[in-house]
């Protein structure tokens, strides 16, 4: 399990999310949607880190299973609030979240399986929706390579993924980065002992 700081080191910001981050009146808030494993949590972490580097005051919160309300205080001293698994909020809490954000001028970045667009529309609050189910191949590849490089020992030659391996992983897992990462972890733990370029055959994908 990675720590919060480790997640910030390894998280890679998808281009679609990066495009949505700059301050624009027509897209002040951002909703990151996608099925499980597509990188919503990682995208939120990377977005928070990017905004902090730009000088924004950012708060992050994750809603665990069973949670129905958020606990972060939204005040005028905060610029951005990143809330992961926002679909777990009760109806009342969803209303409170948007009301507090509007009252204090806090920008919302939501990771969610459900659409908040109707609620934002009713309150006339601009929202930009980013779909991670349409994750492009370039990001899929870059995220896997980034994870391998991060996990390797510093200044030590390590195994890499060949072109055919990356193609096979994409064909097998589509946009499900989590499943691809778990597969690679198991494969490397079981058989990789030398700093070779792993092929699709080496990974058992053909």
Select from 131, 176, 175 the least CA-distant residue to 32.
131
Q: Is 9 helix (H, G, I), strand (E, B) or coil?
A: helix
- Residue ranges of domains in the chain: 4-134, 137-198
Superfamily of chain region 4-134: P-loop containing nucleotide triphosphate hydrolases (3.40.50.300)
pLDDT score for 117: 95
Q: Give the strands of the sheet with 80-84, arranged side by side.
A: 58-62, 80-84, 107-112, 29-33, 127-131
Collect the ranges in the chain with pLDDT lower than 50. 25-27
Write out pLDDT tens, residues 7-17: 666 667 888 88
Distance CA 46, CA 139 (A): 13
């Amino acid at each position: 399990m990675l720590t919060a700081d480790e997640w910030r080191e390894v998280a890679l910001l998808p281009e679609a999310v990066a495009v949505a981050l700059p301050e624009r009146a027509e897209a002040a808030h951002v909703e990151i949607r996608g099925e499980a494993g597509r990188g919503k949590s990682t995208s939120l972490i990377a977005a928070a880190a990017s905004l902090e580097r730009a000088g924004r005051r950012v708060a992050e919160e994750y809603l665990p299973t069973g949670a129905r309300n958020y606990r972060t205080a939204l005040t005028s001293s905060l610029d951005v609030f990143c809330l992961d698994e926002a679909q777990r909020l009760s109806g009342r809490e969803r209303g409170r979240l948007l009301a507090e954000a509007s009252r204090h001028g806090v920008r919302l970045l939501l990771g969610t399986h459900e659409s908040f667009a109707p609620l934002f529309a009713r309150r006339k609050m601009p929202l930009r929706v980013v779909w991670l189910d349409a994750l492009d191949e370039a990001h899929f590849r870059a995220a896997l390579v980034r994870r391998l490089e991060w996990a390797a020992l510093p200044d030590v030659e390590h195994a890499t993924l060949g072109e055919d391996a990356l193609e096979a992983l994409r064909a097998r897992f589509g946009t499900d980065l989590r499943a691809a990462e778990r597969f690679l972890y198991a494969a490397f733990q079981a058989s990789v002992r030398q700093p070779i370029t792993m092929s699709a055959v080496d990974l058992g994908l053909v």
